[in-house]
Structure 1
Amino acid sequence: MNKLSLFLILFISINSFAQQTPFEKSGKKETTTYEESISFYESLAKAYPLQTKLFTYGSTDFGKPLHLLVLSKNKIFDPVSLRKSDKRILLINNGIHPGEPEGIDASMLFARDLMKNHKLPDNVVICIIPVYNIDGSHNRSGTSRASQNGPIAYGFRGNSKNYDLNRDFIKTDSKNSQAFQQIFNTWQPEIFVDTHTSNGADYQYTMTLIPTQKDKLNPILSGYLTKTLVPDLYSKMKNVGYELIPYVNSINETPDAGITGYIESPRYSTGYAALHNSIGFMPETHMLKDFDKRVESTYKLLNTYVDVIVRDAKIIGENKRKADEFVASQKDFPLDWKLNRSVYDSIEFKGYVAKYKPSEVSGTDRLYYDRKDPYTKKIKYWDKFEPSLTVTKPIAYVIPKAWDKVIALLKLNNVKMQQLATDVKLDLNMYYIGEMRTGTRPYEGHYQHSGVNLTTVKQAVQFYAGDYVVYVNQANNRYIVETLEPQAIDSFFNWNFFDSILGQKEGYSSYVFEDTAADLLTKNPELKQKLEAEKLKNPDLAKSGRMQLDFVYKNSDYFEKTYMRYPIGRLQQETKLNLK
């Protein structure tokens, strides 16, 4: 490097030390716009070109790519090389709900000060998504968060397609989600932080915290989370003036009767992270606290994460390696969870007394929290979740290539897949969809299914060259099982990926099939006995000629085997396959 180049780098760096964020320039009353945030990070990357790099990934529904700022002290920006050199990776996501913008501003301060003060750690690489919901960040107002205390203007929760992106990590209706998953699965963070602002009750804390639910996280990771990581975050944040409390998920209208843990299914960011054995956190600053304090608490929390990860880098890396090995050989997988209400802890809670007074709108009694009447007392905390539905994995899933969105998402999530080299008929366990519930109103663009009942039938099913085989012996087994098992809470099936199988495609003309059915009953005594038995059980069928004809049809070879049959097969025994 010549002297002139070195001088220019030093000159830019010195000037960048004084660079203020829009948040600071506004007297800490305004949040940064998308354009301002990207401009800031571009300047930061120019000021520190050896240890800072700004990447772009994919696109969003708004037509702009997702940016990722990477801070790497050892000047390596290749994720594979970083993993080989035993570096930990912290991924921070901001603005998934742009009306909750503290993380956007706090991350800018955090990144600048790490560089300016020469505090970039040697063993931790820090990745920051400046603004995830770029779409919603452009839809700015000061009114969409009716119960929030500042900033002056902020973005909107819905993106360009009006999706809540924190419900889109499995169904992936948005390009934002595709780009995020590319980032996540490229960098493979051990720790993931998604910054938010809370709604709900009023209390004395500026920040609450939702860690990945301990009981649904891999046990190796959960042990470290509950015994070391969370207690240290609480202790260190208290020491810097921002005491933490679990997210206030009240069982009644107010927290006084107790709060429960939060179970984040895979549709949410931290639930998605758990599928990849990444420990996730959703810090939630309180909506009614001053905006500058919300930003400051987020800033201090981000620094606290770095302090702990630096200290525990070796054990965090080893835990992730062990968890991946455990999941690769794991046989049984919980698919849904329930709260055990008979088990609870008592925790100290600093709240405000809930009181009632006549409403100036309706005249009826209304709730308010009296900030002149604070209290500290023990409340109940329920946080033990137990599996309510479990499945034993197959050896492999076999997926017809026609289901291209499923295949694309599996690939996006680093699932190892192979393709059949030739046409082949395979003996597989196939699911038939039985009773289920379907929402009567759309949720995030879908009429979701739930409570799916299945019948398993062993069948010889024809597959073709190019169809996919996914062996369930991978570190990504949880993503595989929890998306491909139709009864899982956030399965691809429950998000309507396979609704075309729920419609019958062929039928019959009764007057023609009458003769065919009579012939079938004559030649097949077992079918005749089956019909008579069903008539005894079902008086309505016994009285209806049409229902009896339909029974014969549905129990004959004329009835389509694909109706209500889930198209992904489960290979239950070792079978030599001709694979590409």
Structure 2
Amino acid sequence: MFASLLVLSASVAYDSHLPPLIQWQGQSNELMQQEGPLTTDFELSSGEISPNYADTMAFVDRLVAANPTQFKSQTIGYSNSKRAIKMLIASEQGFFEAGQMANSTKPTIFIQAGIHSGEIDGKDAMFMLLRDIATGKRRDILKKVNILFIPILNVDGHERSSVFNRINQRGPIKMGFRTNANNLNLNRDFTKLDTPEVRSVLKVINAYNPNLYIDVHVTDGADYQYDVTYGYNPVFASESPAVSDTLNQFFKPMIDEELTSQGHIPGPLVFTMDKRDFKKGLAGWVATPRFSNGWGDLKSLPTILVENHSLKPYKQRVLGTYVFLDGAINALSTYSHELSNAVKKEQEFVPKQLIVKRGYAKQADTIEFKGIAYASSMSELSGQNEVNYLGKKLDYSNLPIYWQKEVLDTVEVPKAFFIPPVYSDIIEKLKLHGVSVNKLEGANTQPLKMAKVSDYTFDKAPFEGRFRVSASFEYIPAINVDLDGWYQVNTQQKSGELAAHLLHPEAPDSFFAWGEFNTIFQRTEYMENYALIPYARQMLKDNPKLALVFDKKINNDKEFAKDAAARLNWLYEHSPFYDQAYLKYPILMSFEEKVVIADQKDKEI
């Protein structure tokens, strides 16, 4: 107790560098209890503390013991440090198995907390809500929905706990670290699947097929009045626009009304164009599939990203999360039919083109925005003007907002991709993504195309443990390819659009972009001049057209003419000895209207 008081008093000093607060007193304060069964550590500390991993898992066990007919705890995976990742399943009828829940008449909501474990609001909010279910205060909840809840996804980062982990966040007093034990950001891993934590999430989604996925975070950035901001890819930029439109029309009004009635201020998920000059406007973000909500958008899985405001006190944020989740549950129960229809519509549609690059609109829209007044002054430390937020309300009536509306690049969606059997790890990842894959056997003939790298650039520094690569391609016919034992991925399937983003080399979060195929940039066989020169002399003699091209290149390119190594390498490239796999993306593509396969047996994996 004494140690806790020391930490509590220390927190005052650690908060002193943050901007002044606008005092808050919402009706949701009444959700807290100070005594009685299953009072949380958060409540016992008056909203200052979040329990450590051991105490969190113990509280999960207490919840299950208090309501074993409706609650069950399940280990869904382990971190690389061998900590168990627990999920609590809640069902009125005790439908804990995936098949049972799939046959339930109620929709299923999947709530994930602690993907960034310093941003742990969702854990303590859901513990309060589940306690209220277990003790009978909220019997209505399980009459509406089934619940899947991960209290801590980043279990290793959660235990790298400190009062110094997030300089611009008010509480909890001790909080976890952003990345996992391998220093990987789990919310950048939804396509490449390097982490056991995110692989566990995808296994849950594949098994239980939830109707709504909620990922709870705490934002960084500017100060403003909103305490609970949330969002999903906007309709104009969504890969599942019918789903986005349904969330807009039916879910958002109900959630916002619930938050407002409890004294919270819901706001849009936006960022600033310039952190030092708020008046330059807001940036409207479109998530790519490396993020949970971008991946969910491609998967046609309705996904809401919650970003509570980091400068608001922990107590206020947790209570706001409770109210948000309560509102989302009510909305899902009320509008599950509309949402299911939107999902079905999107799963049946695969576009002919993928947008692989977006830019901010040159012309801004405007938005009413509840900001915080600020002053700007020269900092002796940074040597530039810096913002000082003043803790006073400032409402903007026509603040510019720039959305990523401009389409900068698109690619054609193949009818099918063909993957060599050597890439078994890619096949396993596709299965985790819920993509259907067929194995080909026997003699196969296909009119296929190959992507040949014409230019490429590697990132200068690693990102998420990988050196990402960007490239331009030319698409050429693939000649004499024996597809026996290869894997075929058709894009005309429920996860077809996601498959296209994963497998098309020009997609920004594809396996190729994340460096899964970096070995194609290696040359492992070379030539000796004493062997190449006599061979090349005969090759040019036998092929006058090639000799003419070589002569023209010497005459028109002075640098080439003076570079002996370049000349010999050109000749080597045009010989049959040259590595035919060099700079060639090994996954082939079919763009035909109908794929004709002779003498084939398909095996569903």
TM-score, shorter chain, exceeding 0.5: yes
Q: Which moved more, 1:347-356 or 1:496-505?
A: 347-356
| Superimposed CA distance per residue, residues 205-260 of structure 1 (whole angstroms, 9 cap, x where no aligned partner) | 21222323431231221221233323433333222211212134111224322212
Aligned-residue offset at 1:372: 4.0
Aligned-residue offset at 1:425: 6.4
Q: Matches of 2:281 and 2:414 in 1, distance apart? A: 41
Q: Secondary structure at the match of 2:191?
A: coil
Q: Matches of 2:62 and 2:485 in 1, distance apart? A: 47
User: Are 1:187 and 2:208 an aligned pair?
Assistant: yes
The answer for the alignment partner of 1:507 in structure 2 is 526
Contact 2:141 2:329 in 1 (8 A): no
The answer for the alignment partner of 2:240 in structure 1 is 218
| Superimposed CA distance per residue, residues 341-381 of structure 1 (whole angstroms, 9 cap, x where no aligned partner) | 3251x222222222034657578754201114644543122
The answer for the alignment partner of 1:9 in structure 2 is none
Summarize the alignment of residues 29-48 of structure 1 with structure 2, pairs less than 5 Å apart.
29-48=48-67
Q: Quick one: percent identity of the two aligned structures?
A: 27
Summarize the alignment of residues 24-63 of structure 1 with structure 2, pairs less than 5 Å apart.
24-63=43-82
Q: Matches of 2:299 and 2:407 in 1, distance apart? A: 19
The answer for the alignment partner of 1:66 in structure 2 is 85
Letter paired with 2:358: W
**Which of these residues, 250, 260, 264, is aligned with residue 283 of structure 2?**
260
The answer for the alignment partner of 1:111 in structure 2 is 130
Aligned-residue offset at 1:321: 1.5
Q: Structure 1: which 5+ runs fail to align?
A: 1-15
Contact 1:31 1:153 in 2 (8 A): yes
Q: Which moved more, 1:67-76 or 1:101-110?
A: 67-76
The answer for the alignment partner of 1:453 in structure 2 is 472
Summarize the alignment of residues 114-513 of structure 1 with structure 2, pairs less than 5 Å apart.
114-115=133-134, 116-117=136-137, 118-214=139-235, 215-253=237-275, 254-327=277-350, 330-344=351-365, 346-357=366-377, 359=379, 365-372=385-392, 374-383=394-403, 385-422=405-442, 424=444, 426-450=446-470, 452-463=471-482, 465-513=484-532
| Superimposed CA distance per residue, residues 408-459 of structure 1 (whole angstroms, 9 cap, x where no aligned partner) | 1001122111112236565420111121221111111111113x20111102
Q: Which moved more, 1:531-540 or 1:567-576?
A: 531-540
Contact 1:171 1:492 in 2 (8 A): yes
Letter paired with 1:516: Y
Letter paired with 1:356: S
Distance 1:18 1:360, change over 3 A: farther
Q: Matches of 2:207 and 2:405 in 1, distance apart? A: 31
Contact 1:124 1:313 in 2 (8 A): no
Contact 1:210 1:262 in 2 (8 A): no
Aligned-residue offset at 1:97: 1.0
Q: Matches of 1:376 and 1:467 in 2, distance apart? A: 58
Q: Secondary structure at the match of 1:169?
A: coil
Q: Secondary structure at the match of 2:68?
A: coil
Q: RMSD across aligned C-alpha pairs, in angstroms?
A: 2.2
Contact 2:250 2:331 in 1 (8 A): no
The answer for the alignment partner of 1:552 in structure 2 is 571
Letter paired with 2:241: P
| Superimposed CA distance per residue, residues 504-544 of structure 1 (whole angstroms, 9 cap, x where no aligned partner) | 12121112211111111111122112223333442222334
Q: Matches of 1:174 and 1:194 in 2, distance apart? A: 17
> What TM-score does the superposition give when structure 1 sets the normalisation length?
0.91
**Which of these residues, 544, 553, 558, is aligned with residue 539 of structure 1?**
558
Q: Matches of 2:380 and 2:408 in 1, distance apart? A: 46
Distance 1:373 1:238, change over 3 A: closer
Distance 1:276 1:268, change over 3 A: same
The answer for the alignment partner of 2:591 in structure 1 is 572
Distance 1:549 1:320, change over 3 A: same
Q: Matches of 2:461 and 2:75 in 1, distance apart? A: 37
Q: Secondary structure at the match of 2:477?
A: strand
Distance 1:547 1:376, change over 3 A: closer
Distance 1:61 1:76, change over 3 A: same
Distance 1:123 1:232, change over 3 A: closer
Aligned-residue offset at 1:545: 4.1
Q: Secondary structure at the match of 2:589?
A: strand
Aligned-residue offset at 1:386: 4.1
Q: Matches of 1:467 and 1:364 in 2, distance apart? A: 58
Contact 1:426 1:460 in 2 (8 A): no
Distance 1:365 1:318, change over 3 A: closer
Aligned-residue offset at 1:168: 1.3
Contact 1:190 1:277 in 2 (8 A): no
Q: Matches of 1:123 and 1:373 in 2, distance apart? A: 38
The answer for the alignment partner of 1:102 in structure 2 is 121
Distance 1:505 1:350, change over 3 A: same
Contact 1:400 1:463 in 2 (8 A): no
The answer for the alignment partner of 2:7 in structure 1 is none
